[in-house]
Amino acid sequence: MSTAQTQSEQEPIQGQCLCGKVKIKVAQMEFRVGACHCQSCRTWSGGPLFTFDCGTAVKLDGACFVSSFQSSDWAERGFCNNCGTHLFYRLKQNGQYFIPAGLLTLPGDPLFDHQIFIEQKPHWYCFANQTKELTGAEVFALFSSD
């Protein structure tokens, strides 16, 4: 599979939490990874949160080990209540999942192509990759047009 292609006719992309109690299957996603620099993501993950937009076709096996936290009016964050692994960021409006990049076993290398909430990124780190950079206001405008 080439970089940044949409995975749709392949087997589902799979992953799991650190302890293996929660298994994730993603039916369709783009092989584009993004980084969020907002204060909430940095607090939750200890740094920028790298995710894949996995749409709504996500299956979580091991539901009794999945807990969620209503982190804002528009989203919730899920984690394994056994090992603490971050499992997802999900938009309440449409059920769209953003899965942390490190959880999924990929058939190739994704393209790191965007960063969001760039105005909240601390000055003490930067990435060499050339990516699209969106402010928080631009992100909210993009999602409100859906």
pLDDT digits (tens, 9 = 90+) for 3-27: 444 554 567 999 999 999 999 999 9
pLDDT digits (tens, 9 = 90+) for 35-63: 999 999 999 999 999 999 999 999 999 99
Q: What whole-number distance in Å separates Cα of residue 87 and Cα of residue 103?
A: 8
- Average pLDDT on 63-67 reads 98
Specify the DSSP class assigned to residue 110. Answer: P
- Contact assessment for residue 53 and residue 30, using Cβ atoms and an 8 Å cutoff: yes
Q: Is residue 1 part of a domain?
A: no
Residue 71 vs residues 76, 82, 87, 128, 144: alpha-carbon distances, Å: 5, 20, 14, 30, 18
Look at the chain and report how many structural domains it folds into.
Answer: 1
For the domain that residue 88 is a member of, what is the CATH number?
3.90.1590.10
Q: What whole-number distance in Å separates Cα of residue 16 and Cα of residue 25?
A: 9
Residue 140 lies in domain: 6-144
Q: Is residue 100 part of a domain?
A: yes
Q: Is residue 56 part of a domain?
A: yes
Which residue matches tokens 């996995």? 54
Specify the DSSP class assigned to residue 12. Answer: P
Amino acid residing at 93: Q
Q: Is residue 109 part of a domain?
A: yes
- Contact assessment for residue 22 and residue 85, using Cβ atoms and an 8 Å cutoff: yes
Q: Is residue 38 part of a domain?
A: yes
Q: Is residue 33 part of a domain?
A: yes
Q: What whole-number distance in Å separates Cα of residue 34 and Cα of residue 19?
A: 25
Q: What whole-number distance in Å separates Cα of residue 9 and Cα of residue 120?
A: 37
* CB atoms closer than 10 angstroms to residue 128: 4
Stated pTM of the model: 0.86
Which H helix or E strand runs over 144?
Answer: helix 136-144
pLDDT of residue 105: 95
